[in-house]
C-alpha cells in the first residue's frame, strides 16, 4: 500500500464562525483505494499559499511511500532544506497529512487509531468548552459581560460540562506583551467572580489569554484572579519566551497552560524543562500530528504534566485529538466546539454526552466526512484563520474583544 493522491479542501464554517474563518482539510488516497482524512491547523500564510505548501510536502516527502512509515516521513519533513528544527508552516502541513495516514492505517486494519498507538487507556474524555453567546445575548457585548458569560457557563454546566473557558482580558496584538489596563484587570476579576458564583464547585474555570501580556503584567493579572481558583491560566505571555513564562509560573498560584502555537517535541520539551507550564495544549493539526504528539505526552509524563489538546479548528482535528487522548495516561481534558456545522461535517460521528466525549470505536479516526458539505462551503476571503490586532490597547477603558470568533467581514 502506497500513498497515491492528495486533495485539499478549504472549508468556511457559516457565521458566526466558531472555530475560525476556515478549516484546511486534506484527503489522501492510497493506491489500494483507501481514503484518509486530516486537518492542517496552520495559518501563518493564507490558504492558497498553504495549499501549495501542503502539496509540496506531500509530493516531495510522502507520495509513493507506505503510510506505515510515519517516522521516516516525519524525519524527511523535519530535516527538509537543511533545517532539522520546528517550522510552524511546514510542520502544520505535515500534521494534517500525518493524521490522514493514521486514518488510512486504521481503516486498512479495521481498527481505531488508538489501538495502533498503544491501545485504549480512556474510553471517554473530559470535555471543556469556551463560553459562547446563548439565545438573547448580543455580540460583541457578550465578550465583555460577566453576567451573560455566567449565564452561558451555567447553561454549559447544566449540559454536563465540568470546565468552561473564557478570555475577558483584552485583545492580542502584533505588538508583543503589554501591561494590562486596570479596566481589563477589573473586568477579568469580575468575570471570575460572577462565573464562580454562578457555577460554584460544579465546574473548573479556565482563564484564557493569548500571549498578550508582558511578564510583569501577566503576574499582576494572575495574582488578581487567583482568589477564584482557576484550573489554569493560559498562555499569559507570548509563546516564544518560555523562560519569562517560567517567571510567571513561579509568581502565580494558578497552573500555567500553553501550547496551541507550539510545534513538535522540541518546543514542548523546552517548556517542560524551564518549568513554564504544567498543562500542555497541543493542537494536533499543528504540533506534528498524532505520533509526534504522543511523544510530547510521553515527555510530559516525566515532568508530571498533563495534556489538554487545543481545538480552534474543525472536527477532523477534534477527531485526532480524541484518538490521542484515548491512548495516554496523562490526559486532563480536551477542548470541544459544538456547532451544527461541526457535527454535520462529520455526520454526527462524534458527540459530547454529559460533559464527556465517548471515544469512537469505528476504524481510523472514527468519523465519516461529508465531503459534499465541505466542498459546498469554500472559503472565498483573503484574511487569515485568526487576525492579530494592529492597534495598541487602550488605557482609558475596557478593551472590547470579540473573543475567539472573528467577525465575518470576509
DSSP per position, 45-110 = S-HHHHHHHHHHHHHHHTTTS-TT-HHHHHHHHHHTTT--S--HHHHHHHHHHHHHHHHHHHHHHT
Residues 194 and 256 in one domain: yes
Q: Which three cell numbers stand for residue 66?
A: 507506505
Q: Cα separation of 153 and 389, whole Å? A: 27
Predicted structure pTM score: 0.96
Decide which of 58, 83, 112 is a domain's last residue. 112
Note whether residue 353 is domain-resident.
Answer: yes
Residue 45 has pLDDT above 70, yes or no: yes
Note whether residue 370 is domain-resident.
Answer: no
Residues 167 and 97 in one domain: no
Q: Cα separation of 103 and 38, whole Å? A: 8
pLDDT attached to residue 408: 52
For residue 241, give the 3-state DSSP assignment: coil
Asked if 274 contacts 240 with a C-beta cutoff of 8 angstroms, the reply is: no
pLDDT attached to residue 311: 97
Task: Give the pLDDT confidence of 4-40 residue by residue, as tens digits.
Answer: 999 999 999 998 889 999 999 999 999 999 999 999 9
Residue 100 domain boundaries: 3-112
Q: Which three cell numbers stand for residue 13?
A: 464554517
pLDDT attached to residue 403: 58
pLDDT attached to residue 410: 43
Residues 161 and 292 in one domain: yes
Residues 88 and 148 in one domain: no
Split at pLDDT 50, 70, 90, the class of 273 is very high
Total Cβ atoms within 10 A of residue 62: 23
Taken in order 30, 374, 337, 51, the sign of the CA dihedral is: positive
Task: Give the pLDDT confidence of 389-402 residue by residue, as tens digits.
Answer: 888 999 998 887 77
Residues 135 and 63 in one domain: no
Whichever domain contains 156, its CATH number is 3.20.20.120
Split at pLDDT 50, 70, 90, the class of 183 is very high
Domain count, the chain: 2
Residues 224 and 347 in one domain: yes
Residues 95 and 187 in one domain: no
Beta bridge partners of 359: none
Amino acid at each position: 500500500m502506497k500513498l497515491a493522491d492528495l486533495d485539499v479542501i478549504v472549508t468556511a464554517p457559516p457565521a458566526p464562525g466558531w472555530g475560525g474563518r476556515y478549516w484546511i482539510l486534506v484527503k489522501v488516497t492510497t493506491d489500494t483505494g483507501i481514503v484518509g482524512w486530516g486537518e492542517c491547523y496552520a495559518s501563518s500564510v493564507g490558504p492558497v499559499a498553504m495549499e501549495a505548501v501542503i502539496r509540496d510536502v506531500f509530493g516531495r516527502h510522502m507520495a509513493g511511500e507506505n503510510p506505515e512509515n510515519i517516522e521516516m516521513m516525519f524525519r524527511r519533513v523535519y530535516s527538509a532544506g537543511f533545517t532539522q528544527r520546528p517550522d510552524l508552516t511546514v510542520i502544520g502541513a505535515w500534521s494534517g497529512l500525518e493524521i490522514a495516514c493514521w486514518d488510512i492505517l486504521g481503516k486498512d486494519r479495521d481498527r481505531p487509531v488508538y489501538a495502533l498507538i498503544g491501545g485504549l487507556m480512556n474510553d471517554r474524555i473530559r470535555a471543556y468548552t469556551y463560553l459562547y453567546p446563548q439565545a438573547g445575548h448580543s455580540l460583541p457585548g457578550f465578550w465583555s459581560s460577566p453576567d451573560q458569560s455566567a449565564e452561558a457557563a451555567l447553561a454549559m454546566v447544566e449540559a454536563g460540562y465540568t470546565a468552561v473557558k473564557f478570555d475577558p482580558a483584552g485583545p492580542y496584538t502584533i505588538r508583543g506583551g503589554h501591561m494590562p489596563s486596570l479596566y481589563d484587570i477589573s473586568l477579568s476579576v469580575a468575570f471570575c467572580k460572577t462565573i464562580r458564583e454562578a457555577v460554584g464547585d460544579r465546574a473548573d474555570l479556565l482563564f484564557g489569554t493569548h500571549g498578550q501580556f508582558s511578564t510583569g503584567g501577566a503576574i499582576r493579572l494572575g495574582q488578581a484572579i487567583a482568589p477564584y481558583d482557576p484550573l489554569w491560566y493560559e498562555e499569559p505571555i507570548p509563546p516564544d519566551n518560555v523562560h519569562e513564562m517560567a517567571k510567571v509560573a513561579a509568581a502565580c498560584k494558578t497552573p500555567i497552560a500553553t501550547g496551541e502555537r507550539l510545534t513538535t517535541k522540541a518546543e514542548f520539551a523546552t517548556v517542560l524543562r524551564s518549568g513554564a507550564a504544567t498543562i500542555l495544549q497541543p493542537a494536533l493539526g499543528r504540533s506534528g500530528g498524532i505520533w509526534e504528539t504522543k511523544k510530547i505526552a510521553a515527555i510530559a509524563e516525566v515532568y508530571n504534566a498533563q495534556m489538554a489538546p487545543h481545538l480552534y479548528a474543525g472536527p477532523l482535528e477534534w477527531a485526532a485529538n480524541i484518538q490521542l487522548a484515548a491512548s495516554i495516561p496523562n490526559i486532563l481534558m480536551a477542548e470541544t466546539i459544538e456547532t451544527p456545522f461541526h457535527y454535520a461535517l462529520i455526520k454526527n460521528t462524534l458527540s459530547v454526552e454529559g460533559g464527556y466525549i465517548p471515544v469512537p470505536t469505528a476504524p481510523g479516526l472514527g468519523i465519516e466526512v461529508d465531503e459534499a458539505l465541505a466542498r459546498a462551503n469554500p472559503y472565498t476571503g483573503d484574511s487569515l484563520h485568526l487576525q492579530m490586532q494592529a492597534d495598541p490597547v487602550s488605557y482609558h477603558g475596557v478593551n472590547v474583544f470579540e473573543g475567539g470568533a472573528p467577525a465575518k467581514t470576509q
